[in-house]
Structure 1
Amino acid sequence: MRTPVRGDQRGVTLVELMIALVVLALGVMAVGALFPTGTREASKDNAYTVAHYHAQEKLEELRGKTWTDPDLAPGRHPSTVEDLGSVWRRWYDVEAMSAPLDNLRKITVSVYWIGQSSDTVTATTYVRR
């Protein structure tokens, strides 16, 4: 019988197999680390969406009011909104514009929340007499 020459051997050595397993394990761990980050970012995006909704909702409500309504009086008007099991702090500032724009009022609605992420969303509009 003829013994094979070392250069003719085929297959994978134990060292090569161990290196491949380490590289694969590192890749799996890196991908696994992305899931909590993705979940956290999705939750943060959801909070921004809800905050934008509440800001826009208040703007639309205020646009429908008459010029003499107390809700459109200049100043800060605070309130809270409960939604999705969370409390959202919402306030709006009404600013009377100076001449020649004295028939306009600037309304800025801000929504603040506390949760996994906390931030403030602001939306602005103008109403006229």
Structure 2
Amino acid sequence: MTRRLRASRARERGASLVELMIALVVLSLGILAMARLFPAGTRSQLQTRMTTTASFYTQEKIEDLSRLPWGDASLTDGRHPAGVATENLGSSGAWHRFYNVTTMGVPLDNLKKVTVTVAWSFVGARQVQATTYLRR
């Protein structure tokens, strides 16, 4: 009986220092792998926020142009502002907005196609475009 008692106590000694070190290394590797995901998540969240802001600026301009009368100078055919100029938006001027107006041909000559573009730079050039048709 004492032999059995000694043998069972020997098996119940607990974890050795080597086993604890291995467990710590495995745990550390898991934590480091998770930590590498945070920058990607932050970058994705920032990109989504910038796209949402650009969509807001696009919709804002479409609504402004929709309220104008048919013959308004802002609705003449061509790019507005003219040339390569853009309307800088946001506190840092990060977003650049312009729009194109095209009067449709017959039989749709009572329509103007308006395409608003908002562009910005974030890990490369990005842009949001929206098109609407205005009627006479």
Which band: TM-score by shorter chain?
A: 0.7 to 0.9
Q: Which residue of 1 aligns with 2:59?
A: 56
Which SS does the other structure have where 1:86 is aligned?
Answer: coil
Question: In the alignment, does 2:88 pair up with 1:81?
Answer: yes
C-alpha distance in 1, partners of 2:135/2:69?
9
Q: Which has the higher contact order (CA 8 A, sep 6+)?
A: 1
Q: TM-score, normalised by structure 1?
A: 0.87
Q: Which residue of 1 aligns with 2:50?
A: 47
Spell out, residue by residue over 1:57-79, the C-alpha distance to the aligned partner (whole angstroms, 9 max, x if none).
Answer: 10000000111011111111133
Q: Contact 2:89–2:97 at 8 Å: present in 1 too?
A: no
C-alpha distance in 2, partners of 1:84/1:29?
36
User: For residues 1-129 of structure 1, what are the structure 2 equivalents within 5 Å?
Assistant: 4-5=6-7, 9-10=11-12, 11-78=14-81, 79-116=86-123, 118-129=125-136
C-alpha distance in 1, partners of 2:29/2:95?
41
User: Quick check: 108-117 or 45-54, which moved more?
Assistant: 108-117
Q: Contact 1:44–1:117 at 8 Å: present in 2 too?
A: no
C-alpha distance in 1, partners of 2:87/2:95?
6
1:7/1:84 Cα in 2 relative to 1: closer, same or farther (>3 Å)? farther
State percent identity of aligned pairs.
45
Structure 2 alignment gaps of length 5 or more: none
Spell out, residue by residue over 1:71-100, the C-alpha distance to the aligned partner (whole angstroms, 9 max, x if none).
Answer: 111111133233132332111011111211
Q: TM-score, normalised by structure 2?
A: 0.83
Aligned residue pairs total 129
CA RMSD of aligned residues (A): 2.1
Q: Contact 1:106–1:124 at 8 Å: present in 2 too?
A: yes
User: Quick check: 94-103 or 115-124, which moved more?
Assistant: 115-124
C-alpha distance in 2, partners of 1:52/1:60?
12
Asked which structure has the greater CA Rg, the reply is: 2
Which segments of structure 1 move beyond 6 Å, counting only runs of 4 or more?
none
